[in-house]
Chains A and B, each alone.
Chain A
Amino acid sequence: MKKKLVSVLLTASMAAAVLAGCGGASAPAAAPAAQEEAKEEAPAEEKEEAAAPAAEAGAGKVYYLNFKPEADPQWQELAKAYTEETGVPVTVVTAASGEYETTLQAEMAKSDAPTLFQVNGPVGLKNWADYCYDLTGSDIVNNLTSDAFELKNEDGSIAGVGYVIESYGIITNKTLLEKAGYTVDDIKSFDDLKKIADDIQARKDEIGVKGAFASTGMDGSSDWRFKTHLANLPIYYEYQADGIDQTDAIKGDFLDNYKNVFDLYITDSTCDPKELSAKTGDDARNEFLNGEAVFYQNGSWEYSSLAEKFTDDEIAMIPIYFGVDDANQGLCTGTENYWCVNAEASDDDIQATLDFINWCTSSETGASCMANDMGFVIPFKTAVESPNVFVKQDNEMTAGGKTPVSWNFTTMPSENWKNGVGSALTAYAAGTGDWDAVVTAFVDGWATEYALNE
């Protein structure tokens, strides 16, 4: 009897060890942090999915890996509305800011991979070209206002569609600008901007601000505004001058202008340039929201967070005047958000996904949610007009004969290139590095990275 007890105990403890072993083993297998982040946001959706009325058998499902954290709540709402209307389960998971590629990488390897995901342009497409369903002839493509928003593979098949057009420039606090004795109309060129910013900086105590420009933060949450968005301008003007739209060797002809703008940002700033390496995107936004800065370089996607504090009359977006063709330069307008449908998904899921994106862009609920709640301008014939004041300004400027600056940063060779430029800019701002290092990272780095991509 006793012996039996011993063996039962032994077996029990072995079984326990096995369970513990399983638990331990699955932990290291559960891969990168990004994946976990994604999971954290997922549970709510999974519940919804379970609660949703069981979809008709074989009707497929949609799993959207969303790129835009600022629009996450709206996407969740929209997904819910779609499920209520059609019974098709829609899961929306949003990757943490700056973690999209890592999250996508992890999610695509799973058996329940995203059916709808995003790439950021031709360079981003290189990773995922094999996974993109050819959208040629689909309703979503036919609904586009211009074929400029089609993202094509080398063989001409359509891998993605741009679904949101955005603009960026220098967001201006009109109230503070008027307090300083100027209006937005006084700024017509880089020289005007510099003169006014210098004046505001000199009289900052009198006006009651900390500086003309919100901090040019070079922390990872903010440095893309300069290493990617501002860096678009020298690339744009070079492409314009050479009549090209992509290159494997940039010459850097307009880097002096880039330097002038960057110098202006860091000199007429709310903080010492030495501290910029630690300043975040939130820091800059808060400075602008608190009226500590008059200017803030960012895009139309900031509208929803700024609208909480400012009325439409109080803010304006002006072009990032670059000192090249200021009289004609408009806002930087374009897209780096391309929807791709996962070709590896089952046919039902692909169909469900196509139906979903169609519904988002053409149904009343979908299109109005994208315009009014997310503040997007979508390049589809069925779009609803967006209340976003920056978007309206972009339209006015274009109507007034200005040329919008296209988004050429989608042709930047790699993340690694952007990081190299970012590091060099950070060091330059703090005085630990010189401008030549930025030029090297920009010009030589471009050629090196392009060669490595092949």
Chain B
Amino acid sequence: MEKSIRKYWPVFVLPTMAAFTIGFIWPFIWGLYLSLCKFQTLKKVTFIGLSNYTKVFEDATFVHAFGFTALFTIVSTLTINILAFFLAMLLTRKARGTNVFRTIFFMPNLIGGIVLGYIWQSLLNGLLSKWGMPLLALSAKEGFWGLVILMGWQQIGYMMIIYIAGLQNVSPDLIEAAEIDGATSWQVLKSVKIPIVMPSITICTFLTLTNSFKLFDQNLSLTNGEPAKNTQMLALNIYETYYARSGASWKGIGQAKAVVFFLIVVVISLVQLRFTRSKEVQA
């Protein structure tokens, strides 16, 4: 058996490898190359070197979008994870109807981002106009909090499920032992439960962090960057670079922005993974 696997490994590896190459590696290399080019479609590509990259940082809207995205990511990662963890704690108590509530909280995650964005736009605008406040498209502050609420509503349920799975893994023996030692419920949470669910925290922060950073659909449908690009996030900014102006050179600049964007996402998520992993313990 072992021998035949050693012999036939290409049969097992190659198909997956091919799919991975076609679906990921090849487009990725093309993407890197295109960021050094001027192009309208992939049929006619002119190599122009690094000049696209210099234009990326001259663009004030890109820098603004970066700041806005960073702020949004911090706020939404914190709110989503704290609320999701809190809900998970509530729904792991053996109360009646927990399954119904878990389902209900999870459901928003099943609706697509664009649809959610438009629904929340009407909801929030209805409320704002009732209060006599400027509508979403007119105030960057409201747009920001609108996005936080929207993302929270959509993602809390999903993260909650992961936390529930983590919390159910905490052995009752450990909790009982802690309680016999006289630990308060706060101490049990802090010193027993949280260290053990740390892997769930790692995965949840990773997901929320990258999701928030790469947010596009919700941003497009809820505010579309209004007012005057003040709520524009990075992904939308890149999209607009592609389409909002005529001329082949803008496609290359958009592509260069996308590469910069990719690097930022990689760095941030690696730092985060390293940080939360270091807190994980073996029970």
Q: Assess the A105–B23 pair: CB atoms within 8 A.
A: no
Give bound CA distance, A358 to B23, whole Å. Answer: 42
28 contacts between A and B (CB under 8 A): A6-B1, A7-B1, A7-B4, A14-B16, A21-B19, A22-B23, A25-B20, A25-B22, A25-B24, A29-B23, A101-B243, A105-B40, A105-B242, A109-B42, A128-B40, A130-B40, A275-B135, A277-B135, A277-B226, A415-B243, A415-B245, A416-B244, A423-B227, A424-B228, A427-B138, A430-B135, A432-B139, A433-B227
Q: Assess the B23–A18 pair: CB atoms within 8 A.
A: no
Q: Are A426 and B226 also in contact (CB < 8 A) when A105-B242, A344-B43 are?
A: yes
Interface residues in A3-29 (C-beta closer than 8 Å to B): 3, 6-7, 14-15, 17-18, 21-22, 24-26, 28-29
B186 within 8 A of A: no
Which A-B residue pairs are the 8 nearest by beta carbons?
A25-B23, A18-B15, A416-B244, A126-B246, A277-B137, A423-B228, A21-B19, A414-B245
B178 within 8 A of A: no
Q: Which residues of chain B are within 8 angstroms of A17 by Cβ–Cβ distance?
A: 16
Give bound CA distance, A430 to B227, whole Å. Answer: 12
Give bound CA distance, A272 to B20, whole Å. Answer: 55
B203 within 8 A of A: no
B interface footprint on A231-242 (CB within 8 Å = 1, 0 otherwise): 000000000000
- A residues at B contact (CB < 8 Å): 3, 6-7, 14-15, 17-18, 21-22, 24-26, 28-29, 33, 101-102, 105, 108-109, 123-124, 126-128, 130-131, 218, 220, 272, 274-275, 277-278, 344, 414-416, 419-420, 423-424, 426-427, 430, 432-433, 449, 452-454
Interface residues in B201-231 (C-beta closer than 8 Å to A): 217, 224, 226-229
Q: Assess the A29–B27 pair: CB atoms within 8 A.
A: yes
Q: Which residues of chain B are within 8 angstroms of A21 by Cβ–Cβ distance?
A: 15-16, 19-20, 23
Give bound CA distance, A453 to B250, whole Å. Answer: 9
Give bound CA distance, A17 to B12, whole Å. Answer: 10
Give bound CA distance, A423 to B12, whole Å. Answer: 56
Give bound CA distance, A414 to B240, whole Å. Answer: 11
B248 within 8 A of A: yes
Q: Which residues of chain A are within 8 angstroms of B12 by Cβ–Cβ distance?
A: 14
Q: Assess the A108–B138 pair: CB atoms within 8 A.
A: no
* Closest Cβ–Cβ distance, residue B235 to chain A (whole Å): 12
Q: Which residues of chain A are within 8 angstroms of B93 by Cβ–Cβ distance?
A: none
B114 within 8 A of A: yes
Question: Taking each of A130, A278, A432, which has the highest tally of chain B beta carbons within 10 Å of its own beta carbon?
Answer: A278
Q: Assess the A423–B243 pair: CB atoms within 8 A.
A: no
* Closest Cβ–Cβ distance, residue B116 to chain A (whole Å): 14
A33 (CB) vs chain B CBs: closest residue = B114
Q: Which residues of chain B are within 8 angstroms of A127 by Cβ–Cβ distance?
A: 40, 246-248
A106 (CB) vs chain B CBs: closest residue = B41
Give bound CA distance, A311 to B15, whole Å. Answer: 65
Q: Are A452 and B226 also in contact (CB < 8 A) when A7-B4, A29-B27, A277-B138 are?
A: no
Give bound CA distance, A186 to B4, whole Å. Answer: 94
Q: Assess the B40–A25 pair: CB atoms within 8 A.
A: no
Q: Which residues of chain B are within 8 angstroms of A105 by Cβ–Cβ distance?
A: 40-41, 242-243
Give bound CA distance, A76 to B243, whole Å. Answer: 28
Determine which of A124, A220, A426, A433 lies in contact with B246 in the assembled complex, contact meaning CB atoms within 8 Å: A124
Q: Assess the A130–B44 pair: CB atoms within 8 A.
A: yes
A interface footprint on B51-75 (CB within 8 Å = 1, 0 otherwise): 0000000000000000000000000
